[in-house]
């Protein structure tokens, strides 16, 4: 194998495929990046959960393939001058990397044993802008479950139907749902993507308008992002019917400035140490919310003026859940709907159905 | 005690005095910040090595003093709205912190047991701009020793004499020296300041032109930075006579582009794992330096065109020492002077005596 490509193109490719290379993997070949020069030059990273393949524009002088330690390859290319880089595999799997007056020789590995990525025969797909996909992941991923006994909740539901795309995460204590009107033809896309995959995808996605395409089969999902393909298995099983758990009635409805209530909850959570999270108490009394907390460190109490409809209520929450939901919201004002002091509250926009964040309350000692 | 001050003023003060508060201290009172309201309002942090005192502009309603946990006070003030903050100590040492509609009550501690800072009767002093002091620390601190058996080398020598200021660090394997012409009256300032103190000072210093004043006594040094005073003990003992160890002759003199040689050494150090640092070999052959390294991972070889006077030479160095010295240099081109393959090399500017970085070689296996 012998190719010549610009430092920048190589580095862009390496930075992306490295997201699928786990340094903790027991299979040492998976510490590597597979380089393949055929009619095109391709790099592949694969940790057996996520696989990423990038086509890198190159001048192919000799076909062939080799696996090079990912960290080493990345550091070498990163430190090269801004110029053309030559990568050549010798017969004993030594790899020469040259750029201007710099000359590296490192050990490579045969490509034969490198696990190939599954061939995906896409059944369905839709397109979405990078920026929107990145945002929707950020706005829901924090509520993905971590409980190994409820595997299906360790991913986000992505569904497209009737010209809308929904991202939903539920961890048993809270739900994050984002809806987006998009001109989608396909009406039957419904998959559960592992949280880890979405986390890596969101690092690859840039806040730009150009589109990515998302393909699915029964067991696999594939994201086509520019010259790169990210493949991941899907989580198997039936996802919770999230629509049925969003309450459609309420006893108390509060209209509040998002920044104000976020700051208040952040302050109220200050006097609890990180491990022992104390609940924060919300008291809706007419047109005021009092947000307070009491721990061995001290007391804190904040008052916010709001617009209220319905009953007064006193209810406790894990402040972390509220803070994460509020940080995922850009709106200046929001509604918070309460049902009872043991039912979930729901955060919704003033005049759309673009999001719903639901949080279960916790008992507060008086 | 009761004071009212702006959130920003309080936070500026806290951010500075916190640099002298160690959370690892066994004396739990030292986790705190001392607040003292007398004719002025003062905050103090003190870890018994470094003490910092800041005057914070405040409206003093009632005199008194209290110690508040540093982390908690910092987080509370940081999260307050941009407004006036009231801090009041009640009789049982509870402290009320209020800002707009936010109200905290936390436990404080009596100030009586808080260790007072030493009274310093300054014997000598000089002034220097914040920016220059910050730069000179950065350019020399990395060569401060870490060997507990050579305590005096665990600090930097600061001396002012004949209208120049010098900062010098030596760790036994290398030396970093910076010289600066300044219009200094005092010609006898010569102290060794602990590396830890300089590291904290450099975080407080801003890259601005206004001056700080540095005072010393026999055992203490005091930095007056705006409204704050940073105090530290000095290291005792005689510092190495660094002038005598800088060679004044050479066998080989190389003029080289700084960025080019830095990049080459960085590349050559890539193929050595972090723990087992392999030496990097320099071969000066007429008007070329070849920088190379050979480890179990592979080989690397870089060629740089230079201007050489004197003999050809082959010599090995710990690349880390070269990289740190070169990163402390802004000059585009530098001289490197070699004496023999077992003597130190010296990096100097082309046409001034503003710096000298000396590095001892290591043996290279062939």
pLDDT tens for A314-338 read 999 999 999 999 999 999 999 999 9
Chain centroid, CA A192 distance in Å: 13
| Domain contains A114 | no
| Domain contains A117 | no
Mean pLDDT along residues A241-257: 94
- Which residue of chain A has the CA closest to B264? A102
Contacts of B303 in chain A (CB under 8 A): 101
Q: Is a pLDDT exceeding 90 seen at residue A365?
A: no
Q: Is a pLDDT exceeding 80 seen at residue B350?
A: yes
ipTM here: 0.88
Q: What CATH number is associated with residue A304? A: 3.10.150.10
CB contact under 8 A, A106 and B297: yes
Contacts of A94 in chain B (CB under 8 A): 298
A72 touches chain B (CB under 8 A): yes
The single-letter DSSP state of residue B279 is: -
| Per-residue confidence band for B120, with pLDDT thresholds at 50, 70 and 90 | confident
B303 touches chain A (CB under 8 A): yes
| Per-residue confidence band for B366, with pLDDT thresholds at 50, 70 and 90 | low
| Per-residue confidence band for B118, with pLDDT thresholds at 50, 70 and 90 | confident
CB contact under 8 A, A75 and B270: yes
Q: Is a pLDDT exceeding 90 seen at residue A161?
A: no
Q: Which residue of B7, B77, B79 is the best one to mutate when testing the A interface, meaning the one whose CB has the most A CBs within 10 A? A: B79
The long-range contacts involving B207-211, CB below 8 angstroms and separated by at least 24 positions, are B207/B130, B207/B131, B207/B134, B208/B129, B208/B130, B208/B131, B209/B129, B209/B130, B209/B131, B210/B129, B210/B130, B211/B127, B211/B128, B211/B129, B211/B130
Mean of pLDDT over chain B: 93
Check whether residue A257 and residue A226 sit in a common domain. Answer: no
| Per-residue confidence band for B27, with pLDDT thresholds at 50, 70 and 90 | low
Mean pLDDT along residues A41-48: 95
Quote the minimal CA–CA distance from B356 to chain A in Å. Answer: 27
Check whether residue A64 and residue A133 sit in a common domain. Answer: no
| Domain contains B198 | yes
Residue with tokens 């003060």: B13
Mean of pLDDT over chain A: 93
Q: Which residue of A66, A107, A298 is the best one to mutate when testing the B interface, meaning the one whose CB has the most B CBs within 10 A? A: A298
Per-residue pLDDT, A187: 66
Residues 6 or more apart from B53 whose CB is under 8 A from it?
A: B17, B42, B43, B44, B117, B228, B229, B231
Q: Is a pLDDT exceeding 70 seen at residue B111?
A: yes
Check whether residue A164 and residue A239 sit in a common domain. Answer: yes
**Per-residue pLDDT tens digits for A187-235:** 678 999 999 999 999 999 999 999 999 999 888 999 999 999 999 999 9
Check whether residue A76 and residue A139 sit in a common domain. Answer: no
Q: Is a pLDDT exceeding 90 seen at residue B273?
A: no
Check whether residue A101 and residue A129 sit in a common domain. Answer: no
Number of neighbours of residue B209 by Cβ within 10 angstroms: 9
Looking at B107, B140, B159, which one is the last position of a domain? Answer: B107
Per-residue pLDDT, B293: 95
| Per-residue confidence band for B13, with pLDDT thresholds at 50, 70 and 90 | very high
Q: Is a pLDDT exceeding 90 seen at residue B23?
A: no
pTM for the structure as a whole: 0.90
Mean pLDDT along residues A276-288: 91
A131 touches chain B (CB under 8 A): no
**Structure token pair of residue A220:** 């696999």
A78 touches chain B (CB under 8 A): no
Per-residue pLDDT, A139: 98
Check whether residue B234 and residue B254 sit in a common domain. Answer: no
By Cβ distance, the residue of B76, B79, B299 closest to A263 is B79
Check whether residue B240 and residue B256 sit in a common domain. Answer: no
Per-residue pLDDT, A125: 87
| Domain contains B114 | no
Check whether residue A7 and residue A90 sit in a common domain. Answer: yes
Residue B182 three-state SS: coil
Q: Is a pLDDT exceeding 70 seen at residue B89?
A: yes
Structural domain count, chain B: 3
Mean pLDDT along residues A280-293: 96
Check whether residue B257 and residue B219 sit in a common domain. Answer: no
Q: Is a pLDDT exceeding 80 seen at residue A273?
A: no
Per-residue pLDDT, B60: 98
Per-residue pLDDT, A226: 93
**Per-residue pLDDT tens digits for A80-95:** 999 999 999 999 999 9
Residue with the bigger pLDDT between B152 and B184: it is B152
Check whether residue B96 and residue B161 sit in a common domain. Answer: no
Q: Is a pLDDT exceeding 70 seen at residue A312?
A: yes
**Per-residue pLDDT tens digits for A97-121:** 999 999 999 999 999 989 888 887 8
* Strand order across the A174-181 sheet: A189-194, A155-161, A164-170, A174-181, A355-359, A345-349, A333-338, A252-257, A307-310
**Structure token pair of residue A181:** 């009107």
- Which residue of chain A has the CA closest to B106? A298
Angle between helix A70-79 and B258-270 (nearest 10):
170
| Domain contains B364 | no
Looking at A185, A213, A244, which one is the last position of a domain? Answer: A244
Mean pLDDT along residues A177-185: 87
Residue with the bigger pLDDT between B149 and B183: it is B149
Chain centroid, CA A167 distance in Å: 11
Mean pLDDT along residues B243-263: 95
* Residue B97: HSE in the Cβ half-sphere, 13 Å Cα cutoff: 28
Per-residue pLDDT, B233: 93
CB contact under 8 A, A72 and B266: no
Residue-range definition of the domain harbouring residue A42: 2-107
Mean pLDDT along residues B247-271: 95
Check whether residue A345 and residue A268 sit in a common domain. Answer: yes
Please state, in angstroms and rounded to a whole number, the distance separating the CA atoms of residues B116 and B155: 24
Check whether residue A319 and residue A347 sit in a common domain. Answer: yes
Quote the minimal CA–CA distance from A178 to chain B in Å. Answer: 29
| Domain contains A47 | yes
Q: Is a pLDDT exceeding 70 seen at residue A186?
A: no
* Residue B133: HSE in the Cβ half-sphere, 13 Å Cα cutoff: 27
**Structure token pair of residue A272:** 């609890």
Mean pLDDT along residues A300-324: 96
| Domain contains B67 | yes
Percent of chain B surpassing pLDDT 90: 83
Distances (CA, A) of B47 to A34, A110, B29: 53, 57, 10
Q: Is B225 exposed, middle or buried (0-12, 13-18, 19+ CB in 10 A)?
A: buried
Looking at B229, B244, B259, which one is the last position of a domain? Answer: B244
B76 touches chain A (CB under 8 A): yes
Contacts of A78 in chain B (CB under 8 A): none
**Per-residue pLDDT tens digits for A4-25:** 999 999 999 999 999 999 766 5
Residues 6 or more apart from A215 whose CB is under 8 A from it?
A: A120, A122, A123, A124, A125, A221, A222, A223, A224
CA proximity to B250, closest of B221, B226, B284, B219: B284
Per-residue pLDDT, A276: 65
| Domain contains B88 | yes
């Amino acid at each position: 194998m012998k190719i010549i490509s610009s430092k920048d193109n190589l580095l862009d490719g390496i930075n992306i495929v490295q997201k699928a290379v786990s340094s903790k993997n027991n299979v040492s070949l998976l510490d590597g990046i597979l380089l393949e020069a055929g009619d095109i030059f391709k790099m592949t990273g694969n940790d057996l959960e996520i696989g990423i393949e990038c086509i890198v524009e190159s001048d192919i002088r000799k076909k062939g393939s080799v696996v090079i330690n990912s960290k080493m390859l990345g550091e070498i290319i990163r430190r090269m001058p801004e110029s053309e880089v030559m990568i050549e595999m010798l017969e004993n799997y030594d790899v020469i990397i040259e750029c201007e007056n710099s000359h590296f020789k490192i050990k490579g590995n045969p490509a034969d044993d490198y696990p190939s990525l599954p061939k995906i025969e896409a059944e369905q797909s839709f397109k979405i802008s990078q920026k929107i996909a990145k945002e929707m992941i950020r706005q829901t991923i924090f509520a993905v479950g971590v409980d190994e006994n409820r595997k299906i909740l360790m991913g986000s539901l992505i569904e497209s139907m009737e010209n809308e795309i929904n991202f939903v995460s539920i961890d048993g204590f809270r739900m994050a749902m984002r809806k987006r009107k998009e001109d989608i033809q396909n009406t039957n896309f419904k998959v559960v993507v592992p949280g880890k995959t979405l986390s890596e995808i969101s690092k690859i996605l840039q806040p730009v308008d150009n589109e990515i395409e998302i393909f699915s089969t029964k067991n696999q999902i594939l994201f086509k992002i520019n010259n790169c393909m990210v493949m991941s298995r899907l989580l198997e099983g039936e996802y919770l019917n999230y629509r049925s758990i969003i309450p459609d009635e309420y006893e108390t409805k509060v209209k509040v400035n998002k920044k104000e209530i976020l700051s208040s909850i952040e302050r109220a959570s200050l006097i609890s140490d990180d491990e022992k999270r104390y609940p924060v108490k919300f008291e809706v009394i007419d047109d005021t919310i009092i947000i307070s907390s009491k721990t061995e460190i001290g007391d804190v109490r904040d008052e916010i003026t709001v617009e209220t409809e319905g009953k007064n209520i006193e209810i406790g929450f894990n402040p972390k859940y509220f803070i994460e939901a509020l940080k995922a919201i850009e709106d200046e004002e929001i509604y918070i709907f309460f049902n009872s002091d043991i039912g979930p509250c729901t955060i919704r926009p003033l005049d759309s159905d673009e999001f719903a964040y639901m949080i279960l309350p916790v008992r507060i000692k008086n």
